[in-house]
Amino acid sequence: MKRTAKLVFILFVAALVCGTTAFAQSKGTIAPDQIPGIAVYVPFPVSITLDGKLNDWKGIPVQRVETGYPKGPDPSQNQYVDFSVAADTKNLYVYMQSKDSNIIAGQHGQDYWNEDSMEFYVNFTNKLTPRTYSRGIFQITINATNIGKKDGEKLVITGTNSSGLSVHGCVFKTSDGWAFEVAVPLPKGLSLDHGKTIGFQVHANGASKKDRDSKLIWSKADNSDSSYQDPSVFGQAIFFNVGRKDIPEPLNLANDLASLFKKQGAVGKTGKKIVWADEFDYTGAPDPKKWAYDAPDAGKWNQELQEYTSSRKNSFVENGKLTISAIKSSAGKWTSARLFTNGKADWKYGYFEVKAKLPAGKGTWPAIWMMPTKSIYGDWPNSGEIDIMEFVGLDPDKIHASVHTKSFNHRIQTQKTRNSFIENVTGDYHTYAMEWTSKGIFWYVDNKPFYMFENSAKGYAEWPFDMPFFIILNVAMGGSWGGMNGMDTNLDQADMVVDYVRVYQ
């Protein structure tokens, strides 16, 4: 069924001192309304002058984005972002406006994503669901330090592959925030046909006092801020020849995680049997036939505060649950436990599931993860690491899943990771699972697809996951990540409570 366009006359109002030119598109809506979170229609050819006066955007539909990560503590910042897209024969034009009365700019060096900035993403290639960036796919981050610059002045632009585009335009304050209108040169050979579809995405970052604490995201396929790594979660930009009456429908990309899992053969627990488990149906110390204790200083590499022990105070089983407890002494010293199956059991491939309730409080850093039994390809990160679940108390209810390899790790800022908000992870039990096959690694939270990392078949630097790994459970305190925003001074105990650990093959 054809989608009917609403004839809505859209007016933009902005404050700037520049000249004005009237264009034909000001007479009415010249393209269909956008489909929120899925597709934006790009009218062409239109005339856009990059002068900060927005009369020439009249009649071009606007999308308001108000969803993403929870709002920051300051309700005046990053309340919403409006955007529109248009084109002529040479350029793609993007207009974005943020409602933000508390603009934070220039406090993080080149890490502009950590303060007020607006981003758009474009995929000019013929493949609309690639899992990685390649030539023709771009992230364009325009930060608030550019405010006041006019077309012709060099903009400070960052983002994946951003140096490969000659983006130009102007950035300016509005009555209730700031905005930009910019031009992106169209690739040579790109045919502007009615219904032509490219990948497109919009993000907006907001900071309250200093660090980013809110994120607005347009595409419904990206619910975890993964567009900077994964172009398959972009939405669609559909070119619309002004004057045409037929409305092209969005492509059915099946780029949701469930479809991608199915395509890669990920089936979860289906067809598998439990080959190892601890149901914690006993009382006392963790079963020594299944668990061992890591070294006291095992957290030193991350500057963690705790010392790991084998004490029953720090790890014990009762009432059908395993508790790993980080405890602060009267002298202010932390002890905790790190249990692993190394030397007891390890596995190559399978479905690994843990049901747990996580500790709350700034400074906590619990993890459920796996490491290789033998470092065949060399020391970390060459032989790999699989983080089934990580959580840091400074980001309440945000769960992280990652892999680390020689090519992809946090030391060189290339790690493959996803984070997303899961409600009440410190008050309720949730299941955290990972399916590992020769084709990829697939994460699940509460039995729902969460993230995936595909085997690129490019060697151990990207895929060292062809050897046995063992399971690790721990609660760290502070450290380079868990303590990056300090510690809760009132916190003296932090417990991760585990209902069960199961391995299926």
Q: Extract the runs of DSSP E, i.e. beta strands, from 116-226.
A: 117-123, 137-143, 157-158, 168-174, 177-185, 197-207, 212-217
* Nearest of 352, 282, 364, 322 to residue 498 by alpha carbon: 322
**What is the pairing mode between strands 334-336 and 315-318?**
unpaired
d(CA 96, CA 182) in angstroms, rounded, equals 9
Q: What is the DSSP letter of 69?
A: S
Find the radius of gyration of the CA atoms of the chain.
25
Distances (CA, A) of 10 to 32, 55, 317: 12, 10, 63
Query: Choosing from 390, 423, 435, 462, which is the catalytic residue?
Result: 390
* Nearest of 179, 10, 217 to residue 103 by alpha carbon: 179
Q: How many helices (H) and strands (E) does the chain have?
A: 2, 29
Active site includes 390?
yes
Both tokens of 501, joined, read 């650990």
The three-state secondary structure class of 57 is helix
d(CA 189, CA 124) in angstroms, rounded, equals 11
Q: What is the DSSP letter of 133?
A: -
> Which residues does 189 contact at the CB level (< 8 Å), separation at least 6?
none
d(CA 66, CA 81) in angstroms, rounded, equals 7
Which run of H or of E encompasses 480?
helix 479-482
> Which residues does 161 contact at the CB level (< 8 Å), separation at least 6?
133, 135, 137, 138, 139
3-state secondary structure 157-175: EECCCHHHCCCEEEEEEEC
> What's the full length of the chain, in residues?
505
Query: Choosing from 181, 304, 353, 385, which is the catalytic residue?
Result: 385
* Nearest of 218, 188, 306 to residue 40 by alpha carbon: 218
Catalytic residues: 385, 390
